[in-house]
Each structure stands twice: as C-alpha cells, then as structure tokens.
C-alpha cells in the first residue's frame, strides 16, 4: 500500500536493525485518514471471504481493525493483554512473549465473543517473529472458529513471522514489507496489497 509505505519513509524511524518506530501515525498518535484508507484496502481484499468478525490485539491494532470492520459491516473484537491467568472458565487464554518488551502476557478472549461458525480476520500493526499473531490464531482455534486470514500493517520481512504463520497454514497479507532496517535506513520489498 503506497500511502503507508510513503508515511513510513517520511515519518518512520529505524531505532536499530530490528525495531521500527512509527509513533507519529500508528503506535502513539494515530492518523485517522491513513487508518480509514487501510480499512478500505483490507475490506476490498477480504470482502468475499465470508468474514463474520475482525480480531485484533490491543492496543495498536484497534484503529485499523475498527475501520476494516466498519467497511466489512462486522464486529471488531479486541484480544486483551492480561498480566496473569484468569482462573474462571469463561475466557480463552494463551501466553505470548512480547517482541518489543521481552515480557510475557496472557492474550485473553471472552468466550462470549467467539462462536464455532465465526470466520475471523486477524489484524495487527507489526509482524516480527509471529508470536502475537500465532497467539491470536490459537485463541480462534480454542473457540472452534475458522481464520480467513492474517492482515498486517508493517511486516518485517527479514524476521520469521510470515514463515511461521504460513507453515501453520494461514494466509498472510501485509500492507508494507520492510526488508532491511539500520540507523537512518528503511528498505522495502514488494507488499501484498
Ligand atoms: P511478533 O509477535 O510478531 O514477534 O511481534 C509483533 C508485535 O510486537 C506487534 O504486535 C507489535 O506490537 C510489536 N512489534 C514488533 N516489532 C516491532 C517494531 O519494529 N516496532 C514496533 N513499534 N512494534 C513492534
């Protein structure tokens, strides 16, 4: 997606060879025009896939996910990051190690918001090693539902996330694919959408 790539080129900052900072339009301040365009682009790709719900991981996936859900006319569900296990039986939980923080959390989904006949689109801001997205797929599977695909705003194509998700049988579609990061350097390879 050209618009996202241009925004990353002009406002993104490579903090190291592995971390890209996009606080000015995705992670801290949010650009609603960009998010709305992302919603339209994703909805036009996924519109015929029978999606019944859009899932995302709090908090940076929420903005693009809500615009996409609005375009598709379906609800959006936020997978919550809890610090500890909830011991009641009405949630699904799975442990995730955070790429950026190195800490772990319990990704949590209330059983009220997933049904076995759901067809789920998972959206997240970044794909690095695939921990967060793989956790989301585990929760959908615990609910007995099906994944239609995984949509990512910024994939770091030099990390193993895509391979991991594809090896598990999931289709990944990224709006921007970064092939290389370094001090002051951001290189792209061709994106999916
Ligand atoms: P993964 O779970 O694929 O290893 O990492 C993806 C998650 O880590 C995303 O949800 C995102 O929050 C965070 N993340 C990974 N890499 C980056 C990065 O380069 N920049 C930012 N801002 N977040 C990242």
Specify if 116 maps to a domain.
Answer: yes
Specify if 24 maps to a domain.
Answer: no
Specify if 8 maps to a domain.
Answer: no
Specify if 102 maps to a domain.
Answer: yes
Q: Residue 72 corresponds to which tokens in the numbers above?
A: 């598709």
pTM, two decimals, is: 0.98
pLDDT in tens, 126-139: 999 999 999 999 99
Is the CB of 104 within 6 Å of ligand 1?
A: no
The per-residue pLDDT for 158 is 98
Specify if 42 maps to a domain.
Answer: yes
Specify if 26 maps to a domain.
Answer: no
For residues 70 and 85, what is the distance between their CA atoms, to the nearest angstrom? 32
pLDDT at 89 over 90: no
Specify if 139 maps to a domain.
Answer: yes
Q: Residue 69 corresponds to which tokens in the numbers above?
A: 């859900």
Is the CB of 135 within 6 Å of ligand 1?
A: no
Specify if 64 maps to a domain.
Answer: yes
Please tell me the distance between residue 126's alpha carbon and the centre of ligand 1 in angstroms.
Answer: 5
Residue 93 CA, chain-centre distance (Å), reads: 18
pLDDT at 25 over 90: yes
Mean pLDDT of 71-98: 94
Q: How many domains does the chain have?
A: 1
Mean pLDDT of 17-43: 98
Closest CA to 38 of 53, 19, 60: 60
Q: Which domain range does residue 159 map to? A: 31-178
Mean pLDDT of 93-100: 91
Closest approach atom of ligand 1 to CA 128 = 3
Considering the chain, what percentage of its residues have pLDDT values greater than 90? 93
CATH number, residue 106 = 3.40.50.2020
SS3 142: helix
For residues 18 and 168, what is the distance between their CA atoms, to the nearest angstrom? 24
Convert 127-156 to b/e letters by CB count within 10 Å (16 or more is b).
bbbbbbbbbbbbbbeebebebbbbbbbbbb
Kindly report whether the peptide bond that precedes residue 59 is cis, defined as omega within 30 degrees of 0: yes
């Amino acid at each position: 997606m050209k618009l996202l790539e241009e925004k990353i080129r002009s406002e993104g900052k490579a903090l190291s060879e592995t971390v890209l900072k996009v606080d000015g339009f995705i992670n801290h301040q949010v650009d609603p025009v960009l998010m709305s365009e992302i919603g339209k682009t994703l909805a036009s790709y996924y519109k015929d896939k029978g999606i019944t719900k859009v899932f995302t991981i709090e908090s940076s996936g929420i903005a693009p996910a809500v615009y996409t859900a609005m375009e598709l006319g379906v609800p959006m569900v936020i997978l919550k990051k809890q610090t500890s296990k909830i011991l009641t039986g009405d949630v699904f939980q799975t442990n995730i190690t955070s790429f950026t923080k190195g800490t772990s959390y319990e990704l949590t989904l209330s059983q009220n918001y997933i049904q076995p006949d759901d067809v789920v689109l998972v959206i997240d801001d970044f794909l690095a090693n695939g921990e967060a997205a793989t956790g989301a797929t585990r929760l959908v599977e615990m609910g007995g539902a099906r994944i239609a695909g995984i949509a990512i705003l910024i994939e770091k194509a030099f990390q193993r996330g895509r391979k991991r998700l594809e090896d598990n049988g999931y289709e990944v579609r990224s709006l921007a694919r970064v092939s290389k990061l370094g001090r002051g350097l951001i290189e792209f390879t061709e994106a999916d959408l």
